[in-house]
Structures are given as structure tokens and as C-alpha cells.
């Protein structure tokens, strides 16, 4: 596998770094790690970080104060680095810069990623994009600040090493980052465990209105735009809901719908068994991992739920 230094050729003078829509801890940790790396080791490069504003708990990472959420339509970068995005349309705010860039690099861990860039570094066995990056950065290049970012990414996508995507390499990567000074306990407490009161309210509402389907094998809930408006919440306040649902005893899958427009819903899947939810998401044009995936559905909620349950039923019966 190539090193990060090899993915940034000599002669590069401008670089854009971007993650996926609705950035989570792995996405934010990964893009800020790459941003810090270039700032430190390739200072001649003008580097910009493009991202939707993430949850407040992640704003402590270096580079967050410089994120850009809009891109000039005509700007062209020498290099574009995508982190944790499984497809071009998931890049979001910087997709136009991706298409215009002279060289495009994709670093990812999603099994559904087709390898959409000029250079692709994809490890579908890794717990997180941050774990992939950890393997791309030499030991002597790991600063405490880069270690903080990468540790944040790993613990968010591995559920602090609770999820089945945790492998020996994941723990070895975390140990390396700890040795480099990553503030492990602080990061776990403040960015993973801590929730705002608003987030707690949304979690309570979602769990309180959840229902069991398919003979108790699937738990499902939904949050509407009206629900979010009533609490003054937005999509960042919904992080962690589907992960919490998967702990329901006796279920094999958790499904979380949240409204993103008139008759439009984002659907998140989690599996607590061998059920491959990425295949279910793919049926509806989405993707992800074996046990964590998502898609977007258009149409009335009742019809969307019925379609998802039909797809789940077919997989569970097999």
C-alpha cells in the first residue's frame, strides 16, 4: 500500500480535501488528519478543507475553524483528496472541485466504493477511513494532533472497539496513536459519549416511538421534519440513534428513517448479525458496509417502510 507522502506528488501547489455529506466522527477525523499532514510536511501547498459543519462535539479538532462549506464554481485544484466518501455524489459540497481537479485521490473503507478517483486506496476490511490513513502515515510523521484526529475517527466508526469491524489491526493502530500522545479518554468522553440535551431528547423520542417488525427481527423508527422543528434540532442531532437501536435484544437489524424533504427520507441500517445491510441499501441506490449502510428513499413514509421491510424479509428468510 502506498504511503500518504506518495499520494501527494511533487509540484502540487493547491489541494482540496473533502469528506462525505453529513460528516461523522470518522469523516471529520480523517479529513483533519490529512489537512494537518499537508500543512506540516508540505507547507508549500495551499490546502483547503471542504465539509458540511459537523456536530459540535467534533469541532475541537484542528482545522475545524477553517472548514469551507461552499466552493467557487470555476476553481481548479492540482490535487483533490476524498476521505471516507463511498461515491462521487457523497462528496457533497466539493463535488465540482473533484471533477475539475488535475489529480484525484480517494481514501476509503466502504465495500461499496467502486474506486471512483484516479488513485484509490480502499481497504474494506478496515474499521474506518482513519484506520486506513494510520497505515499510510509513517511513525515518525505521526504528531499528537494527527494522532488525535485519527483516534477520533477510529473510535467513532468502531463504536470504541465494540463493533464487529474491530480487528487486531484496529487495536494496533489505536495503540500507535496512544503512544504518540492521543488524548484517548478525553476524546472518547467528549466526542463519543457526551450528548447535548437536544440530542438526548431526539434519542428519547426516536426510541419511544420505535416499533418491531418481521416477528421482532427488525426494529424501526422515524424522525420527521416536524419532530426536529419541535426540538430545534437538525440532522446532526440524530447521530447515534440507529447505533443505539441495534442493541435491542432479539433483533437482527435496526432501521432509522429521518425526513430530509417532502416525501423524502434518509434511511440508516445497522445489523447485529451476519445480515449484510449493504446489499439492502444497494437495492435502493445506497451502499455502505456489511453491518452499517444507508440510502435515500422518495415517496410517502408508509410506502418506503413497506419497501424496506419487503427487502429485509427476503434477506432474513434466506
Tens of pLDDT, residues 235-254: 989 988 999 999 999 999 99
Per-residue DSSP letters for 232-261? T--GGGGTTHHHHHTTSTT-SEEEEEEEEE
Which residues belong to CATH 3.10.310.30 in the chain? 197-317
Distance between CA atoms of residues 174 and 148, nearest Å: 10
The CATH class for the domain spanning 197-317 reads alpha beta
pLDDT at 290: 87
Does residue 315 have a pLDDT over 80? yes
**Which pTM was predicted?**
0.86
- Residues 6+ positions from 22 with CB-CB distance below 8 Å: 52, 235, 236
The CATH class for the domain spanning 4-193 reads alpha beta
Cell readout for 281 is: 441499501
pLDDT at 288: 84
Closest by CA to 283, choosing from 257, 312, 261, 259, is 312
Tens of pLDDT, residues 276-303: 999 999 999 998 888 899 999 999 999 9
Q: Phi/psi at 287 (nearest 5 deg)?
A: 180, -165
CA dihedral 213, 202, 236, 296 (to 10 degrees): 30
Distance between CA atoms of residues 77 and 100, nearest Å: 7
pLDDT at 87: 92
Does residue 273 have a pLDDT over 80? no
Which residues belong to CATH 3.90.1640.10 in the chain? 4-193
pLDDT at 107: 98
Q: Phi/psi at 79 (nearest 5 deg)?
A: -140, 140
Of 184 and 288, more confident: 184
Amino acid at each position: 500500500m502506498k504511503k500518504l507522502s506518495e499520494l501527494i506528488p511533487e509540484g502540487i501547489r493547491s489541494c482540496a480535501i473533502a469528506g462525505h455529506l453529513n460528516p461523522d466522527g470518522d469523516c471529520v477525523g480523517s479529513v483533519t488528519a490529512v489537512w494537518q499532514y499537508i500543512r506540516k510536511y508540505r507547507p508549500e501547498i495551499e490546502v483547503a478543507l471542504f465539509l458540511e459543519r459537523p456536530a459540535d462535539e467534533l469541532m475541537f479538532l484542528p482545522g475545524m475553524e477553517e472548514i469551507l462549506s461552499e466552493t467557487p464554481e470555476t476553481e481548479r485544484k492540482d490535487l483533490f483528496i476524498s476521505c471516507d466518501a463511498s461515491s462521487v455524489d457523497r462528496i457533497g459540497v466539493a463535488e465540482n472541485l473533484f471533477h475539475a481537479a488535475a489529480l484525484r485521490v480517494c481514501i476509503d473503507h466502504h465495500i461499496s466504493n467502486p474506486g471512483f478517483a484516479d488513485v484509490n486506496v480502499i481497504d474494506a476490511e478496515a474499521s474506518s477511513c482513519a484506520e486506513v490513513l494510520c497505515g499510510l502515515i509513517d511513525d515518525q510523521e505521526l504528531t499528537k494532533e494527527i494522532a488525535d484526529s485519527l483516534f477520533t475517527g477510529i473510535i467513532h466508526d468502531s463504536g470504541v472497539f465494540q463493533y464487529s469491524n474491530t480487528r487486531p489491526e484496529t487495536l494496533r493502530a489505536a495503540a500507535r496513536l496512544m503512544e504518540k500522545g492521543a488524548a484517548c479518554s478525553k476524546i472518547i468522553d467528549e466526542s463519543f459519549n457526551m450528548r447535548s440535551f437536544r440530542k438526548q431528547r431526539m434519542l428519547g423520542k426516536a426510541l419511544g416511538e420505535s416499533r418491531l417488525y418481521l416477528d421482532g427481527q427488525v426494529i424501526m423508527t422515524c424522525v420527521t421534519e416536524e419532530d426536529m422543528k419541535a426540538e430545534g434540532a437538525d440532522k446532526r442531532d440524530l447521530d447515534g440513534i440507529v447505533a443505539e437501536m441495534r442493541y435491542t435484544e432479539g433483533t437482527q437489524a435496526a432501521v432509522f428513517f429521518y425526513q430530509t424533504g417532502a416525501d423524502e427520507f434518509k434511511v440508516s441500517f445497522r445489523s447485529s448479525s451476519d445480515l449484510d445491510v449493504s446489499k439492502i441499501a444497494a437495492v435502493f441506490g445506497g451502499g455502505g458496509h456489511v453491518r452499517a449502510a444507508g440510502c435515500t428513499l422518495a415517496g410517502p413514509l408508509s410506502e418506503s417502510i413497506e419497501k424496506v421491510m419487503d427487502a429485509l424479509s427476503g434477506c432474513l428468510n434466506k
